[in-house]
Amino acid sequence: MKTTIRFFWVPVLALSLLLGAACNTTKTSEGAVIGGTAGGVIGGVIGGEDNTAAGVIIGSAIGGTAGALIGNYMDKQAEEIEEDLEDAEVERVGEGILITFDSGLLFDLDSYQLRAETKENLTELSDALKEYDETNIIIEGHTDSQGTDSYNQRLSERRARSVSGYLAKQNVSSSRFTVRGYGEEKPVATNETAAGRQENRRVEVAIVANEDLKEAAQEGEIGE
């Protein structure tokens, strides 16, 4: 498993929030939201230009001492997730966590049915999400550029929904989920090679503080 920590200076985050607020009035959301949006803040960030999972994490940060407390909360959660998940990339990004699953690990080719051998990993993830329950969860599906735009869009939506549905069956509250598919819109590598296409076929799970956790952090009262 690859674990990465990304650091962002608070002034940069503050500037990102200001710019994001300005952009949200003029930019339309890309992709398709296919589940409930967990909270107005998340909805606003997703409506911005950089509305990927990592962008949502960065855009929802509050910074300062409260942000540092949230970061500590996320550190503990990320450590548990890292121990439990196999073959997934776990990153601490700003005040949140980004988990990337290669779609080939979760699904067979052109399928949105979860593979039986991957459900154990998602069950382990659900345990951590239930333990650290003061968070919102953004689940995004992505494909490569093979096939038509419409087919890839539907497949990405269905794959994201399969993950959220399984987590909900493990008693993770569905009110915490924002579920969306991007199709081939947001590649992280070239689609000209097999290796690049494999990287682009992925499901991303972003974990960010909900409003209760932010309020507790601002009051200096985050529980262990």
- 70 phi/psi in degrees, rounded to 5: -65, -40
User: For the chain, how far is it from start to end, CA to CA, in angstroms?
Assistant: 26
List pLDDT tens digits, range 37-51. Answer: 554 444 444 444 456
Average pLDDT, the chain: 83
Q: Indicate whether 11 pLDDT > 80.
A: no
> pLDDT band at residue 9, thresholds of 50, 70 and 90?
very low
Given this model, what pLDDT does residue 52 score?
Answer: 79
Q: Indicate whether 12 pLDDT > 70.
A: no
Q: Which CATH number fits the domain 3-218, given the four candidates 3.30.1330.60, 3.30.470.20, 1.20.58.220, 2.40.50.140?
A: 3.30.1330.60
Q: Can you give the residue ranges of every domain in the chain? A: 3-218
CA-CA distance, 26 to 48, in Å (whole number)? Answer: 9
Mean pLDDT of 85-114: 94
List pLDDT tens digits, range 61-73. Answer: 999 999 999 999 9
Task: Measure the CA dihedral 76/80/83/85, to 10°.
Answer: -120
CA-CA distance, 159 to 173, in Å (whole number)? Answer: 19
List pLDDT tens digits, range 157-211. Answer: 999 999 999 999 999 999 999 999 999 999 999 999 999 999 999 999 999 999 9
Q: Helix, strand or coil for residue 142?
A: strand
> pLDDT band at residue 32, thresholds of 50, 70 and 90?
low
Sheet of strand 88-93: strand arrangement:
3-6, 88-93, 96-102, 202-209, 135-142, 177-181, 32-33
CA-CA distance, 64 to 58, in Å (whole number)? Answer: 14
Mean pLDDT of 118-139: 96
Which token pair is 157?
A: 């939506």
